[in-house]
Chains A and B, each alone.
Chain A
Amino acid sequence: MSNHYNLISVPGGYEFTTISGDVYLVYFTEFSLLNPDDEQNYIETYSFGFNCKRANPDKRHRFDAKTKATILNILEQYFEEHGEDAFLYICLNTDGLARNRWITFGKWFREIENDYERHQSRIEYGSQHWYSALLVRQDNARKQRYIDAYHFTLKQMLEGSDDDAEEPKE
């Protein structure tokens, strides 16, 4: 038996349904990083995100093990097909749960950290905390370019980030 849910392609992304009936939508969008070496051009990458339509919204939301495995499987598949690319994610911060998401995803990604690098950032901007991370394969020949562009973009776009852009503790 598979340790992850079946993924189906839907317009705009991918979907899977958990055993409890929650429907997850997984999506990638274009994301342009500023190029620290060339102000006129960007470094194109992707952002990754997922959203859940709860079968029972009144019940407390918990990620089951297969959901975690499904998400990680998607990321590993992405890197299998796009080893020369990177992607980033940001934790939604409009409901006071950004740090919770940050911690949860941090635990998930530690399971695949042998092959990938995760460069994190926690920045306070506009009275909100912005948790984001860039993921890139360890053997990606262009990985430093992505890492530099990520931190450069954070510094340029989210003010006061010189100190906060260090790796945050979970």
Chain B
Amino acid sequence: MRVHLMHLFVVTAWNSYCCAYVDIDLNQILLYLKVDNTKSHMTLKKQKKTLVNPFIKLIEDKIKIADAVKDGKPLSTLKDIKFVKPL
């Protein structure tokens, strides 16, 4: 549930809805996103299996990286992003 709420928080923030990260009523979020309950139920089930939506996480990671670069912080401070150096 925590992961799912983070995804919804990111999406709703972009739509200028203010939501407390912790105290989010899922039904209210679903209403804002105009997602019906059956779809969201299926989404929850999928996310339970896979834990995290990789595309949403990728956008979240890009935002964190952009903020770190802007603030002059090294990428090593971003502990939840798995950087690789394939070159």
Contacts and interface: CB of A to CB of B under 8 A. Distances in A.
Interface of A: 7, 9-14, 25, 27-34, 39, 46-47, 49, 51-53, 74, 77-78, 81-82, 85, 90, 92-94, 125-128, 130, 132, 153-154, 156-159
B59 A12 contact: no
Given A127-B15, A159-B39, A13 B61 contact: no
B82 interface: yes
Interface centre among A30, A34, A46, A126 (most CB of B within 10 A): A126
Interface in B14-68: 14-15, 33, 35, 39, 43, 46, 49-50, 53-56, 58-59, 61-63, 65-66
A154 B56 CA distance: 11
A27 B58 CA distance: 12
B81 interface: yes
Nearest to B72: A53
B70 interface: yes
Contacts of B33: 126-127
Contact of A82 (B54, B55, B63, B86): B86
A10 B74 CA distance: 9
15 contacts: A7-B87, A11-B76, A13-B85, A28-B85, A52-B69, A85-B86, A90-B59, A93-B59, A94-B14, A94-B59, A125-B11, A130-B55, A157-B53, A158-B55, A159-B35
A3 to B, nearest CB: 18
Contact of B62 (A39, A78, A90): A90
B33 to A, nearest CB: 6
A-B pairs, top 10 by smallest CB distance, nearest first, are A12-B75, A126-B11, A30-B82, A12-B83, A157-B53, A51-B69, A11-B76, A28-B84, A92-B62, A53-B69
Interface residues of B, number: 35
Given A12-B83, A82-B86, A157 B65 contact: no
A166 to B, nearest CB: 17
Interface SS, B side:
helix
Contacts of B63: 92, 94
B87 A34 contact: no
A13 B69 CA distance: 12
B85 A49 contact: no
Contact of A81 (B56, B66, B83, B87): B87
Contacts of B55: 90, 130, 132, 153-154, 157-158
